[in-house]
Structure 1
Amino acid sequence: MFTIITPKNRHQYEDVLTDMHHMRYRIVVGEWGWDIPGLAPGCDKDQFDTAKTVYVVVRSANGAVIATVRVNPTTGPHMLSELFADYCDLQPFPVGQHVWECSRFVTDRAAMADRVDDLRVRCQLGIGLTVYCLDHGINRLSWLTHQKFYNLVQQVWRTEPLGLPKRSDGDWAWIAAVSEIDLAALDRQLDRHRNAESIVAGYTGAKRVAAQARSA
């Protein structure tokens, strides 16, 4: 389902991590068009991929990494503290032993069979992330994400903004936020994984109705 790679076990997953960094580059640079200074060609590994970083990865049947997310402790340098503090204009970014920062939530949608598979893989990442947090006393996750994903996160985790949405280059408005991690959030994610087919059917049906209304 998912694999959690920690500082203690990462020596067992060096090949998986290499595949993960290559997949991230292919998506965030090749597809999303991010300009990330200092990357080696073909490898998305930056200053926030550290010896303390924890990764959740999902692999395909043949072992290829098709989805990943990373988390870092906020007691040291992290993206909100070092790069995006100005996005936190409603309240300061949280720092503490029990709050970690989540970033690089990346899926290879081309590797998914369909939208149901895509949703299930995203749920697997969220379940793995939540399980790790619950097992290690982490009760909040901070983020910087685009507003569309922020709206999806609110369906799973109780989430509040750290700042107002800010639009950068392109069409995405970015928002800093913090989410609470608890057993209820895990239950919601497990439900979404079990009910992926009906969720996708409802979503696509709503989009179809909206498109018909616009064309009427």
Structure 2
Amino acid sequence: MDVHVIRRDNKHLYSEILEDYFRLRHQIYVVERKWAALDRPDKRELDQFDTDETVYLLGLEGRSIIAGMRLVPTTAPTLLSDLFPRLSLNGPIRRPDVYELSRIFVVPKRRGEHAGPRAEAVIQAAAMEYGLSIGLSAFTIVLESWWLPRLLDQGWVARPLGLPIDIDSMSTIAVMVDVDEQAWTEICIRRSVPGPMLVWQGLPVIERPAIRDLVPAA
């Protein structure tokens, strides 16, 4: 699985894949997770945070989507700022060096893999790689509380921004995760991710030397 970076300046190369992606999001979040408020007649799951500022990381095998993630700059509207501001005691984060991660998924047939690095780990390591590549210092994430120990176990420094709140019968919390080389190295080592995964098709290769040259080793 390669993880492709899709942004405003190269999304024309991925028009069909993005169409599949939004329909897959509908299948996962509306049909599987039963988030009925997201349902649309066209069976595509899009919301106000899917804009030209949004970055998509898609794990692809050929043209098949295996995993996905959305990154939104916190200088733009985000889930935390517009929908769940009460999850952050000091107010929403609005900084050019911080992006929000959301819509993180792996397709059902590839969940719980045991051979090789799991798709879940690869897409998260790719997010850290992307953050380092463009000079971010942190991510914010709105997540179910049970996710927090998993983030810590993969070597990430994740700090709660407030107390957990019950939202739609789910204990939900907002966290800020440090973006640094240690976090990328730790998830690669602990989750058997072999190294840089990003494909920058149609984009300038802007990887920092630390990502190009650093090969994690157990």
TM-score for both structures, normalised by structure 2: 0.81
Per-residue CA deviations over 1:163-203 (Å, capped at 9, x if unaligned) read 11111223x2110111101001111121133289xxxxxxx
Give the whole-Å Cα distance in 2 for the aligned partners of 1:38 and 1:2.
27
Alignment equivalent of 2:186, drawn from 181, 185, 188: 188
TM-score for both structures, normalised by structure 1: 0.82
- AA aligned to 1:108 is V
Q: How far does residue 38 in structure 1 lie from its aligned partner after superposition? A: 6.5
SS in 2 for 1:93: coil
Q: How does 1:19-38 map to 2 (within 5 A)?
A: 19-37=20-38
Structure of higher RCO (CA pairs closer than 8 Å, 6+ residues apart): 2
Q: How far does residue 129 in structure 1 lie from its aligned partner after superposition? A: 0.8
SS in 1 for 2:5: strand
8 Å contact kept, 1:3–1:128: no
Which residue of 1 is the match for residue 67 of structure 2?
A: 67
Which residue of 2 is the match for residue 207 of structure 1?
A: none
8 Å contact kept, 1:99–1:139: yes
Question: Which is richer in helix?
Answer: 1
Which residue of 2 is the match for residue 7 of structure 1?
A: 8
8 Å contact kept, 1:38–1:46: no
Give the whole-Å Cα distance in 2 for the aligned partners of 1:58 and 1:187.
19
Where structure 1 has 5 or more consecutive residues not aligned to the other structure, the ranges are 197-216
SS in 2 for 1:70: strand
8 Å contact kept, 2:145–2:171: yes
Where structure 2 has 5 or more consecutive residues not aligned to the other structure, the ranges are 195-218
SS in 2 for 1:175: strand
Give the whole-Å Cα distance in 2 for the aligned partners of 1:32 and 1:183.
34
8 Å contact kept, 1:23–1:66: no
Q: How does 1:46-195 map to 2 (within 5 A)?
A: 46-60=47-61, 62-89=62-89, 91-109=90-108, 111-112=109-110, 114-116=112-114, 120-155=118-153, 156-170=155-169, 172-194=170-192
Give the whole-Å Cα distance in 2 for the aligned partners of 1:167 and 1:58.
31
8 Å contact kept, 2:117–2:191: yes
Give the whole-Å Cα distance in 2 for the aligned partners of 1:195 and 1:23.
25
8 Å contact kept, 1:56–1:125: yes
Q: How far does residue 37 in structure 1 lie from its aligned partner after superposition? A: 4.4
Larger radius of gyration: 1
| Distance change in 2, residues 1:118/1:143 (3 Å) | farther
SS in 1 for 2:37: coil
Give the whole-Å Cα distance in 2 for the aligned partners of 1:26 and 1:134.
31
SS in 1 for 2:191: helix
8 Å contact kept, 2:156–2:178: yes
SS in 1 for 2:130: helix
Structure 1 stretches of at least 4 aligned residues deviating more than 6 Å after TM superposition: none
- AA aligned to 1:130 is M
8 Å contact kept, 2:97–2:138: yes
